[in-house]
Structure 1
Amino acid sequence: MTLSRPERIDLLLTRPHRQEPEPAPREELATLGAIEQTVVDAAIAMLAPGQKFALLWSLQVGEQAVAGVQVKERDGSVTNMVPPAEVLEYLIDHKRMSYDPSVGTWISAEIFIAGPTRYKATFATGTVADWMPEVSEDDLRAEFDAFPRPAGEIPDWARTQLDWSDRRTG
């Protein structure tokens, strides 16, 4: 039996739609240590058998917030992976919770992971590794608007970048 076009449309409209279940809300973590452990555990869960060491990194300046995981393979090559969205969300929470008006907050993070309880976290308020994404003048302005800090706590490279931008536009 062949259905006419209007009958097919009606059939499609009356078919029950399958809705994807909403993801469970992520757990609110109250301490910096709890956030660090959670993101370390998530990075370890991404590793394949035989992979033992990983670097979880994040760059958060203004509107730019990115994270990644790098794994050094036995042959010396590096595998880059994107962590689950909740890892970046927890790192955004970490940054917000780390804010101190006298120094600002961190703009880049590197967590070297050797095991669930063997990791070293470095959160930098003034440096960005040269292999991380570039930081724009707009993101720097947004960063210092959102997380003000004394002029002496603005890194020289950021001040130079902003001064150069102001000279070009102003």
Structure 2
Amino acid sequence: MVIITLSANGVKSMSAFLVSAKHIAIVCNAVVFDQTNQRIFFKWLDDIKKSVHFPDSVVEFEKQFIQEIQDFEDELSQLDNFKLLAKILANANFVSLQYRYPKHDHGDIELYLSRVHKFSMRDDLGGKDLNVIQFLKFVHCLNYQSCEHPDYKKSFAYKFIKLVEELAIYNSPEYSKAEWCA
């Protein structure tokens, strides 16, 4: 759902929206199923597993994931990894919209996630061909659409975004090929 607002001069502008199921899936596929990028997922998972031992450090809108993360054992199940990451990222986007537009119906997150799951492990999304810049731009879009809640910067979703920003460049073939010094 895209929220369109009219400015004082009557010009339409986009304020916040729910990213597409395909968008979430591309981000998750790139990190979960791509051998080069998997360390991003595993580092993030390791970090959030540590934080759920201190429930007071978990933002309110992600407390629903504490037990699931504590019980999460099979990190080798790529589909389970995909589903967990997709759920946390989608939740942050939904929470952002609910915070920004509390009077609007933003749809059913479970229905949305079922659409996201249909895109898991799909080669035809273009995710395999993403260059680092395009991938980061998708991640930045997701970050921007998820940032409305005041606690967002303490969330698991935000931790994932920051980790992607930090590690994506280092995982890129261009970075590996670049000269270290002149």
TM-score by length of 2: 0.26
Larger radius of gyration: 1
Question: Counting helix residues as a fraction of each chain, which structure ranks higher?
Answer: 2
TM-score (norm 1): 0.28
Give the structure with the larger strand fraction: 1
